C-alpha cells in the first residue's frame, strides 16, 4: 500500500528584502539595476516525514516553527526549495481561515464558491446544501455577507464544506481553535468519522491535550527543523518537557 504522504528532504527558503522601498517605482528601479538585496530565511530545513493511510497525524511546535509552511507544501500551495513531497489521494485543505471565500458575498454564495474551489460541482452542492448548512448551524445567517461573520462562524462554514464528502486526506491548521467548545467537539467527531472511513488527517494544534486525545502519531517541529516524530505519547511528553 502506498503511503498517503511522503516528505523527503524538504527545505523551504524565502527571500526577505533587506531594504524598504517607498513605492513600486523604487522597487522596480532597484530590481532593474540589480540592487535588490535579500536575506535568506529557511522556514523548513531538510524535513523527512511519512504519513500512512489512516493516520491521524499531529504537528506541534511553537509559533513560527514552520508547521503551516509544511502544510502548504503538502497541499501544493508552495513548491519546496529543495526535496520533494509525494501525496497520494485527494486533499481537503483547511489551512487559512477565509481562503477560497469572498468576504463580500453571503454565506449562501460562498458555499458554492468555496465548494467549486474544492472541486465540487454545482449539482453536488445543491444536493448537499442543507447538510452543509445544518452542520454549520448558521441557517439564520445564510444571506449575511461573510465580512459580518466572526472568525468562528467562518470556520463553521469552511469545515462544513470541506468535510461534506470523504477526502483521502484532510488537513486542518488551527481552524478549530476559533470555534466554541461545542462546535470543536462536533468537528472532532466528524474527523473521527472520516478517519473510520479511511481518511488520513493531519492536524496542527497548539492544544497538546487535543493532539494527545486525537492523534496516533505526532511530529515536533522547531525553527524549521524536525526535532522528533513517532507515537503521540512519546513525542508529546518530550515536547511538554522542553517547553515547560
* pLDDT tens figures, 90-104: 888 887 666 779 999
Structural domain count of the chain: 1
CATH number of the domain at 114, please. Answer: 3.40.50.300
14 - beta bridge partners? 41
Range of the domain at 162: 5-242
- pLDDT tens digit string along 186-216? 888 888 888 888 999 999 988 899 899 999 9
**Nearest alpha-carbon partner for 43 in 19, 61, 69:** 69
Give the strands of the sheet with 169-173, arranged side by side.
Answer: 91-94, 169-173, 200-204, 56-60, 217-222, 225-231
228 - beta bridge partners? 220
202 - beta bridge partners? 57, 171
**Nearest alpha-carbon partner for 72 in 43, 34, 108, 112:** 43
- pLDDT tens digit string along 162-186? 888 888 999 988 766 666 778 888 8
Amino acid at each position: 500500500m502506498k503511503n498517503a504522504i511522503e516528505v523527503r528532504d524538504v527545505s523551504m527558503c524565502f527571500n526577505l528584502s533587506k531594504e524598504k522601498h517607498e513605492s513600486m517605482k523604487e522597487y522596480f528601479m532597484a530590481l532593474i539595476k540589480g540592487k535588490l538585496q535579500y536575506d535568506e530565511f529557511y522556514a523548513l530545513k531538510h524535513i523527512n516525514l511519512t504519513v500512512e493511510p489512516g493516520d491521524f497525524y499531529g504537528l506541534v511546535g511553537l509559533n513560527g516553527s514552520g508547521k503551516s509552511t509544511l502544510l502548504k507544501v503538502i497541499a501544493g500551495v508552495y513548491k519546496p526549495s529543495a526535496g520533494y513531497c509525494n501525496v497520494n489521494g485527494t486533499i481537503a485543505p483547511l489551512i487559512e481561515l477565509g481562503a477560497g471565500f469572498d468576504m463580500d458575498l453571503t454565506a449562501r454564495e460562498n458555499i458554492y464558491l468555496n465548494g467549486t474551489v474544492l472541486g465540487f460541482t454545482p449539482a453536488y452542492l445543491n444536493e448537499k446544501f442543507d447538510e452543509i448548512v445544518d452542520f454549520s448551524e448558521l441557517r439564520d445567517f445564510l444571506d449575511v455577507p461573510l465580512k459580518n461573520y466572526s472568525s468562528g462562524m467562518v470556520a463553521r462554514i469552511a469545515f462544513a464544506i470541506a468535510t461534506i464528502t470523504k477526502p483521502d486526506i484532510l488537513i486542518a491548521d488551527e481552524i478549530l481553535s476559533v470555534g466554541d467548545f461545542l462546535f470543536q467537539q462536533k468537528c472532532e467527531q466528524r474527523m473521527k468519522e472520516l478517519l473510520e472511513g479511511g481518511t488520513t488527517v493531519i492536524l496542527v494544534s497548539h492544544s497538546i491535550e487535543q493532539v494527545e486525545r486525537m492523534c496516533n502519531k505526532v511530529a515536533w517541529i522547531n525553527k524549521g527543523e524536525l526535532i522528533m516524530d513517532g507515537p503521540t505519547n512519546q513525542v508529546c511528553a518530550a515536547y511538554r518537557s522542553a517547553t515547560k
